[in-house]
Amino acid sequence: MVYAATYRGKCRNWAGFSLVELLVVIAIIGVLVALLLPAVQAAREAARRVQCQNNLRQLGTALLNYEQQHTALPIGCLGYTNPMTGDFTVPQRLISWNVQLLPFLEQSNLWSQYRLDVPSKDSPNRELGAAVLPMFLCPSTPSSVLISPHGTWRGLAFTDYGGIYGVEGDGRDDPNFGNPDVVDPSAQTLHDNSLGVFNWNVPVMMKQIADGTAQTVAVAEATYRRASTMEWANGHNIFAQEQATPLNERFDNGSFDNEIGSPHLGGALVAFCDGHVAFLGEDLEQATLNALLTRSGGETP
Burial of 208 (0-12, 13-18, 19+ CB in 10 A): middle
Asked if residue 4 belongs to a domain, the reply is: no
Residue 10 inside a domain? The answer is no
> Is residue 274 included in any domain, yes or no?
yes
User: What's the structural domain count of the chain?
Assistant: 1
Please tell me the predicted confidence (pLDDT) of residue 92: 86
CA dihedral 280, 282, 286, 289 (to 10 degrees): 10
pLDDT digits (tens), the chain, 301 positions = 444 444 444 545 555 667 777 777 788 888 877 776 676 666 788 899 999 999 999 999 999 999 999 999 999 999 986 655 556 666 789 999 999 999 999 999 999 999 999 999 999 999 999 999 999 999 999 999 999 998 999 999 999 999 999 999 999 998 888 677 776 777 888 999 999 999 999 999 999 999 999 999 999 999 999 998 999 999 999 999 999 999 998 765 544 568 999 999 999 999 999 999 999 999 999 999 999 999 998 876 5
For residue 242, being part of any structural domain is answered with yes
Task: Decide if 149 is inside a domain.
Answer: yes
| 25 occurs within a structural domain | no
Total-model pTM: 0.83
Reading phi first (left if > 0) and then psi (alpha if -120 to 50, else beta), residue 88 is in beta
Q: In this structure, is residue 1 part of a structural domain?
A: no
Burial class (CB in 10 A: 0-12, 13-18, 19+), 206: middle
Print the domain residue range for 162: 35-293
Domain membership of residue 150 (yes or no) is yes
